[in-house]
Structure 1
Amino acid sequence: MADAHRHWSTPAAMAIPEGGYFELERGRYGPVFPRTPACYGFSIIAKVKDGREDAIREHGKTIEAAVAESPEFLAPLRLHYLRWLLFDVGSGLHFQYQGIFDTDFDKYTEDAVQLFGQSGISTVFTNLEDFPEDWRENPEAFVKFVREHHFPSFLEYGEYPYVTAEEIKKALRLKDAFSAMLDQMQ
């Protein structure tokens, strides 16, 4: 939980116990992970199906094009940042998904299933071993996969802690409005 005594202007760090939470609180699909100074997030690491590296890289271009066509495409996920990595740890190619967002884990994954189900764009996870074929009709299986491949962080830091993406955008809109007003006064 956000510390009510902290202000967004004071950077904060949070060491998280092994397992990813302080107290076991059950959500719809498993443990509820805490909101940290970086908001919410998760990291998935999973093995890539043989021969699927190019498909994963192409999927990155698909998401880029969807956002270019409709900048609000990923808005339902309330993301701050998203990073995808491919790496080989000696046992084959692996994919890492890192996301920081403003909703809890369960809502984020449910929103992702809905977004990709409605958009006609598949999830990149279809290129990963053990990903459920019926993910569109079976959000529970999607969430189960994500949870089984999630590696909780043990430290999270926020330069502007607990601030949502919408609050950041609002502040930047205000900054632009002040800049425009000052420009007109000159």
Structure 2
Amino acid sequence: MEIRPQAVAIPKETDHLEQGKYGPIFPKTPACYGFTIIARVKPGRAEAIRAHGRTLAGALAGNPHLLAPLKLHYLRWVLFDDDTRFMYQGIFDTDFDKYTEDAVALFSRAGVDTTFENLEGFPEDWRTNPEAFVRFVRAHHCPSFIEYGEYPYVTADEIKKALRVKSALSEMLDQMQ
């Protein structure tokens, strides 16, 4: 089976998209699902965002499966414009509604803060009010207009399975030598 890279241009208008619980459901693309938000950082909170990144990295070192319920492929945080703005970019396997609900539940259950608390306008009641969390994300979402996948529509679980098969095959071939 040949896997061919693909790209999809995403229309600016969302009126035609299926409506989910929290608004339009953007289509799955060759890069799966995802979103990018850009928001203003509360004055003086950039270092707290960096510290939160280090905390998250440490938590993942202790429990590599901590974020597994989110079905993430990639997560990227960027501070820019002299640390006055923050970009959050995530690529994942579920639609926006499920990802958001899973993220709120995961962080609430774990008693973990979100770095979004350092952003202007982020709701203080986000743990008990997923709708407010979603409104913030939707208000700051910058939809992409093209997405590309070198291995299109492949889930994180499929990638991990393929890597396990590759590792097992390599180990078997090494033992045969």
The answer to whether the aligner puts 1:57 opposite 2:57 as a matched pair is no
Which residue of structure 2 aligns with residue 150 of structure 1? 141
- Root-mean-square deviation over aligned CA pairs: 1.4
**Cα distance in 2 for residues equivalent to 1:25 and 1:108:** 17
Deviation at 1:24, TM superposition (A): 2.4
**Cα distance in 2 for residues equivalent to 1:42 and 1:62:** 23
Q: Secondary structure at the match of 2:78?
A: strand
Q: Using a 3 Å threshold, how does the CA distance of structure 1 residues 8 and 148 change in structure 2: closer, same or farther?
A: farther
The answer to whether the aligner puts 1:180 opposite 2:164 as a matched pair is no
- Report if aligned partners of 1:8, 1:163 keep a CA contact under 8 Å in 2: no
Which residue of structure 1 aligns with residue 17 of structure 2? 24
**Cα distance in 2 for residues equivalent to 1:31 and 1:57:** 31
The answer to whether the aligner puts 1:15 opposite 2:9 as a matched pair is yes
**Cα distance in 1 for residues equivalent to 2:52 and 2:86:** 13
- Report if aligned partners of 1:14, 1:155 keep a CA contact under 8 Å in 2: yes
Q: TM-score, normalization: structure 2?
A: 0.97
Deviation at 1:9, TM superposition (A): 1.1
Which residue of structure 2 aligns with residue 3 of structure 1? none
Deviation at 1:106, TM superposition (A): 0.5
Letter in 1 for 2:57: E
Counterparts of residues 160-179 of structure 1 (less than 5 Å): 160-179=151-170
Deviation at 1:23, TM superposition (A): 2.4
Letter in 2 for 1:70: N
**Cα distance in 1 for residues equivalent to 2:38 and 2:85:** 7
- Report if aligned partners of 1:41, 1:98 keep a CA contact under 8 Å in 2: yes
Deviation at 1:25, TM superposition (A): 1.2
Which residue of structure 2 aligns with residue 70 of structure 1? 63
Letter in 2 for 1:156: E
Counterparts of residues 112-131 of structure 1 (less than 5 Å): 112-131=103-122
Which residue of structure 1 aligns with residue 28 of structure 2? 35
**Cα distance in 1 for residues equivalent to 2:81 and 2:119:** 14
**Cα distance in 2 for residues equivalent to 1:151 and 1:127:** 19
**Cα distance in 2 for residues equivalent to 1:115 and 1:66:** 13
Deviation at 1:22, TM superposition (A): 7.7
Is there any run of 5+ residues in structure 2 with no aligned partner, and where? none
- Aligned residue pairs: how many? 177
**Cα distance in 1 for residues equivalent to 2:122 and 2:55:** 20
Q: Using a 3 Å threshold, how does the CA distance of structure 1 residues 22 and 9 change in structure 2: closer, same or farther?
A: farther
Q: TM-score, normalization: structure 1?
A: 0.92
What is the percentage of aligned positions where both structures have the same residue? Answer: 68
Q: Secondary structure at the match of 2:23?
A: coil
The answer to whether the aligner puts 1:106 opposite 2:100 as a matched pair is no
- Report if aligned partners of 1:85, 1:96 keep a CA contact under 8 Å in 2: yes
Letter in 1 for 2:12: E
Deviation at 1:155, TM superposition (A): 0.5
- Report if aligned partners of 1:48, 1:127 keep a CA contact under 8 Å in 2: yes
What is the CA deviation profile of residues 11-44 of structure 1, one whole-angstrom value per residue up to 9, with x for unaligned ones?
A: 000010114x482211001001100000000000
